[in-house]
Amino acid sequence: MKMKALSLKQPYAELIVSGKKKIELRKWNTKFRGEFLVHASKVPDENAMKKSGFGELPLGKIVGKATLVEVKKYNNKEFIKDKDLHLAGSDFSDYGFVLENVSRINEISCKGKLGFWEFEG
């Protein structure tokens, strides 16, 4: 199986696969649309883990899949309006990857990469 994947720090990968975070924020745009694997990076965001109330979450593993259906180019007003979808504080990002059809899958250990990358498993 060959499929695109995107690495995210925990707890963001968990918030996506649990359906709480519906927009992934990035500083870069992509032309890619379609299904991809959600990979939890080896290094978590410790502050976000504490704020979100998580103790331990899977690291260095593919934990789910999602479909990227749209990329929003944010201005400040739109960014604030979508707060409940991307769950970010005031850390403004330029792009919002709108996700649908999110599901958790059996964990697969692997190394991640920056940007969208090809997983072969």
What domains are there in the chain, each with its CATH number? 2-107 (2.30.130.30)
pLDDT band at 17 (very low <50, low <70, confident <90, very high): very high
Do 44 and 9 touch, CB atoms closer than 8 A? Answer: yes
For residue 85, which of 7, 25, 31 has the smallest C-alpha distance?
25
Per-residue pLDDT reduced to its tens digit, 46-91: 998 998 899 899 999 999 999 999 999 999 899 999 999 999 876 7
What are the helix and strand counts (H, E) for the chain? 4, 6
**pTM for the model:** 0.94
On the question of pLDDT at 101 being above 90, the answer is yes
The 95-109 sheet, strands edge to edge = 23-26, 95-109, 61-73, 34-40, 2-8, 116-120
- Looking at the DSSP bridge assignments, the partners of residue 35 are 67
Distance CA 29, CA 25 (A): 10
Per-residue pLDDT reduced to its tens digit, 90-100: 677 899 999 99
